[in-house]
Amino acid sequence: MARTHKQSASSASSNRSFVDPPAQAADNAWVRDWRALEEEALGDPQGYWARRAEELEWSAPWHTVLDDTEAPFYRWFVGARTNIVSSAVDRHLGTARKNKLALIWVGEDTSQVRTFSYFALGREVERMANILKAMGVGKGDVVTIYLPRIPEVVFTMLACAKIGAIHSVVFAGYSSEALTARIDDSESTVVVTADGSWVNGRVFPLKDIIDEAVRFSPTVHNVIVVRNTGSEVTMDPIRDHWYHELCKMPVAKGRCETLQLDAEDPLFILYTSGSTGQPKAVLHSHGGYMVGTYVTLHDCFDIHDEDRWWCTSDPGWITGHSYLVYGPLLCGATAFMYEGNPTYPYPDRWWDLIERYGITSFYTAPTAIRTLMRFGEAWVRRHDLSSLRLLGSVGEPLNPEAWAWFHQVVGQERCPIIDTWWQTETGMFQITTVPSMPMKPGAAGRPVFGQEAAVVDEDGNEVPDGVEGNLVLRHPWPSMMRTLYRDPQRYVSTYWEKYPGLYHTGDSARRDADGWFWIIGRTDDIIKVSGHRLGTAEVESALVSHPSVVEAAAVGLPHEVKGHAVHVSVVLLPGTEPTRRLEAELREHVAATLSPIAKPDSFDFPESLPKTRSGKILRRVLRARALGQDEGDLTTLDAD
Ligand code: 6R9
């Protein structure tokens, strides 16, 4: 049994039990004395990061660890030359890890298994890099990747990095319109996709969506198509190329050197939802990003050579970038990747794979845990999960009930739960625990080593412990986003203007008397639906593009499994009846113009939307209405 005890029971703000980590997890961990390390790193954050950066490959050293002269445009490891691929792949090839498995992949049809040693991965990356180079892709060019969870997504990301190109991975569930916007904005010349992806036994037609998306693209000259489902697709004889055919061409063969870059050169952009309809392209760079993802995965998930690491995220999200692709390879770990969903064909698919492949460390999202919890323990109990030693969660708060289930049923009270709070923008964990730290079910934990977080009021003053406020971060960190691609002004105004000198996270939280942070949720117009980040404005602009819709507003409502559900208030054209059929049509319309993950869950059809005098939609009124609550004092509308 896990030992639990109350700490500071007298303090109302730390009224939750600590759960001590199992002794074995703590004793063998890289970080044992976390208090000492916390103190040491905070005493000299730059010294701490510089020391850790030494564990990775640099072809020329930095002269300055952190340059903040143009803050908030921070620069890390200034003067250094590197390439993330030198540390993620190349350096392992000169060691015994050369023959170690870097990646184990299993298809939705689990008889499909592909494995890659570090050596084999290196060869695959070179092949893709040679092909991209032959298509004219060079340093600073953007390549859009629209691939399912298959090994080629890893090869392509690393191939781009190897030659200094910038990858832009778009989740392979976005519609053609969302894809067009991202391709056009980044001016990609090459797109890498697959014929289709397997989703619950059916083919999702990726290539058809790409055809639609790039039909009028002024920039895309080449589309590389990976054969995955074997489904019939139309190939443009000039623009489209089968990947397996390109691989046979002489140009694909031979070595491809890893280009040494400035540490600050861009590695990737990743579009994420903000509070306007236009998604933001968060930009990360080679040097700092590699240090941040390496150190956090290594320490927080205590990666050892014998581990088998499974991060269930899709590479289309930041979690997939940092902790499915780059982090594990930087640590020289064996990463596991599964193509399918957890509930297909039965809700024990994940448990079966953990048993079969001896997964030791399993990192997933609260929405998945809650979904699987509903199917009952029996599905878990029929598998031997004794290989597991660590569990992790990301994307939204892990509520205490789901925490307890994950801990008891999946982890058999043997595995610490590492709840990691972070963002696309932060690139790496910011608030979490390490295995030797006591845990609090429902709390994310403490700021990572070298970081300090605070909870402040609207004026930037720290609020007392236990009081909810805006979560801010005090210190710059290596894997922070460098800017919003081609929109530096929006970078400054979104993250740095509200509280000068502090990073504004957009989350509300409270800190308890023990220094543990409890994340409450977003304070802006972003909602997390099944862990996916959505902007209400994106859903609204999808809705108003429907001919029957005059105006629309979207809000997030609490949902037992998904965390949040999308509720929309839609003003229809006069004379249009709000029928069930129309609701279904609007749902499909949002799926087709944005993504199936954004489909509204519930509707109402008011005659007009409540607004301030300056025209801002009053979402809190709509939310209250949908929940059947008091709408609040409408006389203060203007101040909202
Ligand atoms: C990594 C990722 C960021 C937002 C973030 C917060 C929420 C993420 C969380 C969490 C509570 C956690 N969030 N992790 N909330 N506990 N462990 O999810 O990035 O998609 O950019 O979303 O997700 O609200 O601000 P991203």
Question: Which of 296, 364, 422, 534 to probe ligand 1 with, by most ligand atoms within 8 A of CB?
Answer: 422
Best of 448, 511, 533 to mutate for ligand 1, by most ligand atoms within 8 A of CB?
533
Cα–Cα distances (Å) from 428 to 291, 479, 522, 609, in that order, read 9, 6, 18, 39
- CA–centroid distance, 531 to ligand 1, in Å, is 8
**Looking at the DSSP assignment, which residues form a beta bridge with residue 192?**
145, 224
Ligand 1 atom with least separation from CA of 532: 20
Ligand 1 mean position, distance from CA 429 (Å) = 10
The pair of structure tokens assigned to 183 is: 């391709």
Query: Residue 278's pLDDT is what?
Result: 83
Closest atom, ligand 1, to C-alpha of 393: 17
Name the stretches of the chain with pLDDT < 70: 1-16, 632-640
Measure the CA–CA gap between 454 and 313, rounded to whole angstroms.
28
pLDDT at 16: 61
616 Cα to the center of ligand 1, angstroms: 26
Which atom of ligand 1 approaches the CA of 531 most closely? Answer: 18
pLDDT digits (tens, 9 = 90+) for 256-289: 999 999 999 999 999 999 877 788 999 999 999 9
What does DSSP say about strands 190-194 and 166-169: parallel, antiparallel, or unpaired? unpaired
CA 617 to chain centroid:
29
- Distance from C-alpha of 390 to C-alpha of 463, rounded to nearest angstrom: 34
pLDDT for 92: 98
Distance from Cα 68 to the centre of ligand 1, integer Å: 26
Question: Going by CA atoms, what residue is nearest to atom 12 of ligand 1?
Answer: 421
Phi, psi of 151 (to 5 degrees): -55, -30
Token duo for residue 53: 């950066």
Q: How many residues are there in the chain? A: 640
451-469 burial, b if ≥16 CB within 10 A, otherwise e? bebbbbeeebeeeebbebb
pLDDT of residue 23: 83
Predicted-assembly ipTM surpassing the 0.95 threshold: yes
**Closest CA to ligand 1's atom 26:** 423
Query: What ligand 1 atom has the least distance to the C-alpha of 533?
Result: 20
Instruction: Give, using CA atoms, the residue closest to atom 5 of ligand 1.
Output: 423
Cα end-to-end span (Å), the chain:
50
Query: Cβ contacts of residue 7 below 8 Å, gap of 6+?
Result: 14, 17, 18, 514
Q: How far, in Å, from the CA of 528 to the mean position of ligand 1?
A: 8
CA of 89 to the centre of ligand 1 (A): 29
- Residue 9's pLDDT is 35
Which atom of ligand 1 is the closest one to the Cα of 519? Answer: 11
Name the CA dihedral angle for 498, 502, 506, 509, rounded to a multiple of 10 degrees: -120
Ligand 1, atom 23: closest residue by C-alpha: 395
Ligand 1 atom 4: residue of nearest CA: 423
pLDDT of residue 633: 57
User: Which residue, judged by its Cα, is nearest atom 10 of ligand 1?
Assistant: 396
Amino acid at 108: E
Q: Which atom of ligand 1 is nearest to the CA of 423?
A: 19
Q: What is the pLDDT of residue 523?
A: 92
Residue partners of 326: CB distance under 8 A and separation at least 6: 84, 88, 289, 290, 293
In tens, the pLDDT along 469-508 reads 999 999 999 999 999 999 999 999 999 999 999 999 999 9
- Residues having CB closer than 6 A to ligand 1 are 272, 317-319, 394-397, 419-424, 444, 505-507, 519, 522, 528, 533
Residue nearest to atom 19 of ligand 1 (CA): 423
CA of residue 275 to ligand 1 center, whole Å: 15
Residues in a beta bridge with 564 = 558
Å from CA of 359 to ligand 1 middle: 24
248, 283, 294 from 482: Cα distances, Å: 38, 6, 18
Q: How many CB atoms lie within 10 A of CB 254?
A: 9
Cα angle: 523, vertex 455, 435; to 5 degrees: 100
Which pLDDT score is estimated for 8? Answer: 37
- Output the pTM of the full model: 0.94
**Most informative mutation of 272, 275, 528, 532 for ligand 1 (most atoms within 8 A of CB):** 528
* Separation of CA 522 and ligand 1 centre (Å): 9
